[in-house]
Amino acid sequence: MDVSEGAVSIEVPEASGGGEGAASGVFFNPDQELNRDITVAVLRAFGDREERAERYFDATAASGIRGVRAAAEGWDVTMADVDADAVSLARDNLDRNDLEGEVLLQDANAVLHDVDRVFDVVDVDPFGSPVPFADAAFANTRDLVCVTATDTAPLCGAHFESGVRRYSAVPRNTEDHAEMGLRVLLSTLARTAARYDVGVRPVLSHVTDHYVRTYLELDHRATDADAALDELGNVHHCPECLYREWEYGLLEGERQGCPHCGGDNVVTAGPVWLGPAHDADFVRDVREHLSEEMGRFDRARDTLETIADELHVPFHYNQHKLYKRWGESAIAMDDFLAVLRDAGHEASRTHFGGTRFKTEADVGEIREAVLAAN
Ligand SMILES: C[S@@+](CC[C@H](N)C(=O)[O-])C[C@H]1O[C@@H](n2cnc3c(N)ncnc32)[C@H](O)[C@@H]1O
Ligand SMILES: [Zn+2]
């Protein structure tokens, strides 16, 4: 079956049109077009900024759709897959679009450890967790590592033991679990990179359609790795009154009681990434590099605009949940944000959902602001 995305047209097996986990054939998930459209815009924005960056490695190629789209943007593309059918399809798909590129029937980790190869940008888009590729990617990439994780249940604490095992962190299934997943992933990636004296700076991250996607710019000094580790800490969350608190550092302990409601069900997650999950200027630049021929142009633009304006607070609230606790009906989000701002609190929407928001104010201050405005 023919599929067109952006400027390219590729062949994918009929059986894989149904989405992730299709029973046979090379993998292709049409639902990840948003992810790929944003990837192309990132490659354009990053390539404009870092002119010497030209070598892109699609580590887990499948049909080759990412690598083919990157090649169409002028990147010098290498792809790898351990599935011979995938490798042959990815080669055909380069040919169909008259594009150059190398497709290797090899384990991505072996390619990354090949001393004769250097990549500026490495894209890890595997089945489930990216952890099996993280060491090699950080040890051997020059500028930017792009990572997808689709194992959101372990990451956000819904599958607690596998989350602990795979991510060497304590994830908690709080009501802002999508952001929990992102911040556990960022923590694990930062700690993995630090082992190679590499510091990570997330320039764009989004959680959409049940996957986490993040783009990490790399700095190659031990002090940069130290700086990244300084962004780690714990989040304490009271499921009764929705109070949250966070603290930097790897040695902080659990909380006994909730300082807001006195409840004793406070849960602690960590180490999680408490620092910025995006760089607003870069996100705006990426948005400018989207183009209208992209199949998910509108959604990509809206998502990036929301992210660019998001506050750098390491969790978010659900406005409807708060109003439900207060026994009141929620108000329009713009009016609600205005109430918080009028009370002197910074506040923003978040791409984690239309009823969700970020603010530095705690639950007591949020309630006071709403009461004062009534
Ligand atoms: C989720 S698919 C990739 C989807 C693709 N990036 C896209 O955007 O459509 C994951 C691919 O990784 C391949 N794979 C699994 N283990 C691998 C390894 N160790 N090295 C390289 N590829 C691997 C699988 O065969 C599969 O084709
Ligand atoms: Zn509480």
30 Cα–ligand 1 center, Å: 15
Q: Using a 6 Å cutoff on CB, does residue 66 contact ligand 1?
A: yes
Q: Count Cβ atoms within 10 A of the Cβ of residue 51 and give its class: 0-12 exposed, 13-18 middle, 19 or more buried.
A: exposed
- Of the pLDDT bands very low, low, confident and very high (cuts 50, 70, 90), residue 202 is very high
Residue whose structure tokens are 């990451």: 155
State the pLDDT confidence band at 25, using cuts at 50, 70 and 90.
confident
Separation of CA 188 and ligand 2 centre (Å): 28
Q: 348 pLDDT exceeds 80?
A: yes
Same domain, 255 and 337: no
Backbone angles phi, psi at 88, to 5 degrees: -70, -40
pLDDT of 23 reads: 42
Q: Does residue 349 share a domain with residue 293?
A: no
Are residues 303 and 178 part of one domain? yes
Q: How confident is the model at residue 16 (pLDDT cuts 50, 70, 90)?
A: low
CA of 231 to the centre of ligand 2 (A): 25
Tell me how far CA of residue 299 lies from CA of 34, 205, 213, 296, 307, in angstroms.
8, 15, 15, 6, 12
Q: Tell me if 114 sits within 8 A of 89, measured CB to CB.
A: no
Nearest alpha carbon to residue 121 among 161, 172, 73: 73
* Ligand 1 site, residue 102, Cβ cutoff 6 A: no
pLDDT of residue 18: 46
Is any atom of ligand 1 closer than 6 Å to the C-beta of 32?
A: yes
The answer to the question of residue 296 being in a domain is yes
Query: Ligand 2 centroid to 367 CA: how many Å?
Result: 13
Query: Which CATH number belongs to the domain containing residue 280 in this structure?
Result: 3.40.50.150
Tokens of 275: 């620092």
Is 78 close to ligand 1, i.e. is its CB under 6 Å away?
no
- CB of 93 closer than 6 A to ligand 1? no
Q: Are 59 and 153 members of one domain?
A: yes
**DSSP per-residue letters across 120-176:** EEEEE--SS-SHHHHHHHHHHEEEEEEEEE--HHHHTTTTHHHHHHHHSSB----TT
Per-residue pLDDT reduced to its tens digit, 211-224: 999 999 999 999 99
Q: Ligand 1 pocket, 62 CB below 6 A? A: yes
pLDDT for the residue numbered 254: 76
Distance 360 CA to ligand 2 centre (A): 17
Q: What is the CATH number of the domain that holds 362?
A: 3.30.56.70
Q: What integer pLDDT is reported at residue 13 of this predicted model? A: 86
- The pair of structure tokens assigned to 306 is 């929301």
Asked if 43 and 122 count as a contact pair (C-beta separation under 8 A), the reply is: no
Predicted interface score ipTM higher than 0.85? yes
pLDDT average, residue stretch 105-131: 97
- Per-residue pLDDT, 329: 96
Are 343 and 219 in a shared domain?
A: no
Residue span of the structural domain in which 78 resides: 2-308
Q: Are 66 and 58 in contact (CB under 8 A)?
A: yes
Of the chain, the percentage scoring pLDDT greater than 90 comes to 93
Pick the last residue of a domain from 280, 308, 336.
308
Query: Which of 284, 308, 332 corresponds to the end of one domain?
Result: 308
Number of domains present in the structure of the chain: 2
* Structure tokens given for 243: 């109070």
Is residue 32, in this structure, part of any structural domain at all? yes
Query: 30 pLDDT exceeds 90?
Result: yes
126 Cβ below 6 A of ligand 1: yes
Q: Residue 125's closest CA among 173, 193, 70?
A: 70
| Residue to substitute in 27, 93, 135 for testing ligand 1 pocket (most ligand atoms within 8 angstroms of CB) | 27
- Kindly give the distance from the C-alpha atom of residue 239 to the centroid of ligand 2, in angstroms, as a whole number: 7
């400027």: which residue's tokens?
Answer: 7
Find all residues with CB under 8 Å of 62, minimum gap 6, and list them: 26, 27, 28, 81, 83, 86, 89, 90
DSSP codes joined into one string, 225-290: HHHHHTTEEEEEE-TTT--EEEEESSS----SS-TTT--S--EEEEEEE-S-S--HHHHHHHHHT-
> Are 229 and 367 members of one domain?
no
Based on the fold, state whether residues 127 and 58 are members of the same structural domain. Answer: yes
- Indicate if 238 and 369 belong to the same structural domain: no
83 among annotated binding-site residues: no
**Is 33's C-beta closer than 6 angstroms to any atom of ligand 1?**
no
Least distant ligand from the CA of 126:
1
In a shared domain, residues 363 and 273:
no
Residue 227 and residue 343 in one domain:
no
Instruction: Look at residue 20 in the predicted model and tell me its pLDDT.
Output: 46
**DSSP tag of 313:** -
Residue 145 falls inside a structural domain: yes
| Contact call for residues 109 and 141 (beta carbons, < 8 A) | no
Here the tokens at position 141 are: 């990439």
**Residue 313 resides in a domain:** no
Looking at every residue in the chain, the average pLDDT score rounds to: 95
One domain for residues 37 and 171: yes
Q: For ligand 1, atom 10, name the residue with the nearest CA.
A: 126
Residues 253 and 145 reside in one and the same domain: yes
Residue 152 and residue 128: Cα distance in Å, rounded? 8
- Asked whether residue 43 is assigned to any structural domain, the reply reads yes
